């Protein structure tokens, strides 16, 4: 009983310390206006306390690690991707509106005939302590290196023959070389002064800068103090009446506009549907040919009459065992190179033919399918060999006695039975191929291009097209639009997978009748 009580006290102590730490961070996030993050942390902490002390939650403790990783690695990324697809998150619209306004408030300009101030630096060779700013039209101003304006009368100082203090608070005047050693400290110094601030303009002078913009929160407008131009909010950006747009804009929720743009804007609609059709073609052909080759080899290697079967299996599994990254680069530069590649060397020497493997749209598509089939047929061979072991020998023997030939036995018995276990793997292989960014990018990077200004290339699949929209677009990174493409890919794969898995149930019913 005493041991159990000590464990309970230890648990309370640990939870108390964790809760205190979480409370501290929640307060810090609230002070930084991160209400959402603070709320999430608070709710999660309450949930953990409930799991830790409630008897009803005892079974959930065993599920919590798996659920946590599933939420963190699957649910959160998918949810965030969906959220981004409903925003205008893109180049020039990365920050929040408050951050954008703050950026404008920090912009400055030096007016014509603006004030300039000479300065005398006081300190030691290792650091600056004070600056005395001097202008003919203004009184001398003493500041410290934190930008605070100081009162001469409150600091010990003494004058020399120049008419300026020879030392201040026992710190002497620094020469040019000593000042240059601390130039970074001077460059970072910003002194609030009148309606603007003083900042280093040249090596020997401070300039009086004025804020370029003023924000009217009531009217939600931005006023350019230099030109007196007014900028109003339009499409998450400040825009003047003559159409001038200020950067940066800000992120905001725009609903289904990214999806509408994808389907209605000629710039995106035409390449999207072209890439979509090619992605289906690429996935179907790759899975079909790799499965046919893999199954054919599995049927041959499953025959006990063939000698050295283990050797052949080991040899044929090499493409699957080798790192795809290395294999793809070898295919790209070693085999498909138009001038020095192995394939063109052989064709040129035997038939005087040179094929533009990766430079022509048709040949490039053939090349990526050929390479991906070479990479994936060993996997199909392995799963087919495993499935063949589960086919009952007595059924095949009975069919043979009844007079069925080899093809009939395969079509009526072997194939329906192995499809029960292989069909889900084919669905998974289709989904993997549908999103196989690595093969496309390392072989062709989506090229060759199909038109001037097109983001997509002849071999781009949806995932590489989304990547280009997100990171390589000439007009900037369309991250919101790219996320919309990713959501469409997700919906396509889910739909195909659901329909395919329903089909596998039909296969199971056929197998039950055998």
**Residue 463 resides in a domain:** yes
Please tell me whether residues 236 and 190 are part of one structural domain: no
Total number of domains in the chain: 4
Please tell me whether residues 355 and 479 are part of one structural domain: yes
Please tell me whether residues 459 and 415 are part of one structural domain: yes
Q: Which 3 state secondary structure label does DSSP give 127?
A: strand
Please tell me whether residues 24 and 167 are part of one structural domain: no
Rounded CA gap, 287 and 433, in Å? Answer: 8
Please tell me whether residues 22 and 55 are part of one structural domain: yes
Please tell me whether residues 282 and 170 are part of one structural domain: no
Please tell me whether residues 264 and 333 are part of one structural domain: yes
Select from 18, 50, 85 the last residue of a domain.
Answer: 85
pLDDT higher than threshold 60 for residue 93: yes
Query: What distances in angstroms separate CA 215 from CA 42, 221, 230, 475, one per listed residue?
Result: 35, 6, 10, 29
CATH number of the CATH domain containing 32: 1.20.58.370
Q: Which 3 state secondary structure label does DSSP give 13?
A: helix
pLDDT higher than threshold 60 for residue 511: no
pLDDT at 452: 67
CATH number of the CATH domain containing 175: 2.40.430
Please tell me whether residues 464 and 324 are part of one structural domain: yes
Q: What is the mean pLDDT of residues 27-39?
A: 81
Please tell me whether residues 433 and 485 are part of one structural domain: yes
Rounded CA gap, 434 and 36, in Å? Answer: 35
Give the pLDDT confidence of 476-489 residue by residue, as tens digits. Answer: 789 999 999 999 99
pLDDT at 512: 57
Task: Report whether 459 contacts 447 (CB < 8 A).
Answer: yes
Please tell me whether residues 319 and 372 are part of one structural domain: yes
Please tell me whether residues 207 and 221 are part of one structural domain: no
Beta bridge partners of 239: 232, 245
Please tell me whether residues 218 and 181 are part of one structural domain: no
Give the pLDDT confidence of 227-264 residue by residue, as tens digits. Answer: 999 999 999 999 999 999 999 999 999 999 999 999 99
Q: Looking at 45-54, 201-210, 318-327, 470-479, which range is the least confident one?
A: 470-479
**Which residues contact residue 12 at a Cβ distance below 8 angstroms, ignoring those fewer than 6 apart?**
none
CATH number of the CATH domain containing 452: 1.10.3720.10
What is the residue range of 393's domain? 260-513
Give the pLDDT confidence of 370-407 residue by residue, as tens digits. Answer: 999 999 999 999 999 999 988 888 888 888 888 888 88
């Amino acid at each position: 009983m005493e041991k159990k009580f000590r464990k309970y006290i230890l648990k309370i102590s640990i939870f108390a310390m964790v809760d205190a730490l979480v409370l501290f961070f929640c307060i810090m996030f609230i002070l930084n206006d991160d209400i959402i993050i603070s709320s999430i942390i608070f709710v999660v902490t309450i949930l953990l306390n409930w799991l830790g002390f409630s008897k009803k939650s005892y079974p959930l403790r065993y599920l919590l690690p798996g659920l946590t990783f599933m939420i963190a690695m699957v649910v959160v990324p998918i949810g965030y991707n969906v959220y981004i697809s409903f925003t205008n998150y893109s180049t020039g619209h990365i920050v929040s509106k408050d951050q954008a306004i703050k950026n404008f408030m920090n912009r400055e300009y030096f007016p014509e005939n603006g004030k300039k101030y000479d300065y005398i630096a006081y300190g030691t060779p290792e650091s600056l302590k004070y600056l005395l700013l001097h202008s003919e039209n203004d009184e001398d101003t003493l500041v410290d290196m934190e930008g605070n304006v100081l009162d001469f009368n409150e600091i010990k100082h003494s004058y020399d023959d120049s008419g300026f203090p020879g030392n201040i608070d026992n710190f002497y005047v620094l020469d040019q070389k000593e000042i240059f050693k601390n130039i970074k400290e001077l460059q970072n110094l910003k002194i609030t002064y009148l309606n603007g601030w003083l900042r280093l303009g040249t090596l020997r002078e401070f300039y009086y800068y004025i804020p370029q913009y003023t924000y009217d929160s009531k009217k939600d407008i931005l006023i350019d103090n230099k030109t007196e131009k007014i900028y109003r909010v339009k499409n998450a950006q400040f825009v003047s009446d003559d159409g001038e747009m200020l950067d940066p804009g800000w992120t905001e929720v725009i609903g289904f506009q990214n999806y509408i743009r994808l389907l209605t804007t000629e710039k995106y609609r035409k390449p999207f549907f072209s890439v979509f059709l090619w992605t289906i073609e690429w996935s179907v052909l790759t899975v079909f040919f790799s499965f046919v080759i893999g199954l054919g080899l599995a049927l041959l290697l499953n025959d006990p009459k063939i000698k050295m079967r283990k050797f052949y299996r080991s040899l044929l599994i090499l493409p699957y065992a080798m790192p795809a990254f290395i294999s793809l680069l070898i295919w790209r530069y070693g085999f498909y190179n138009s001038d020095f590649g192995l394939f063109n060397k052989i064709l040129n020497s035997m038939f005087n033919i040179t094929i533009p493997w990766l430079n022509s749209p048709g040949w490039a598509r053939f090349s990526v399918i050929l390479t991906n089939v070479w990479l994936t047929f060993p996997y199909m061979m392995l799963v087919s060999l495993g499935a063949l072991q589960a086919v009952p020998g007595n059924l095949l023997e009975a069919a043979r006695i009844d007079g069925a030939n080899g093809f009939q036995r395969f079509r009526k018995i072997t194939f329906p039975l192995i499809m029960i276990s292989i069909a889900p793997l084919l669905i998974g292989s289709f989904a993997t191929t549908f999103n196989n960014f690595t093969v496309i990018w390392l072989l062709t990077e989506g090229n060759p291009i199909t038109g001037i200004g097109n983001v997509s290339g002849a071999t781009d699949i949806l995932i590489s097209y989304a990547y280009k929209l997100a990171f390589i677009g000439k007009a900037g990174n369309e991250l919101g639009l790219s996320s919309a493409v990713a959501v469409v890919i997700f919906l396509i794969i889910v739909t195909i997978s659901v329909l395919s898995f329903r089909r596998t149930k039909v296969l199971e019913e056929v197998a039950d009748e055998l």
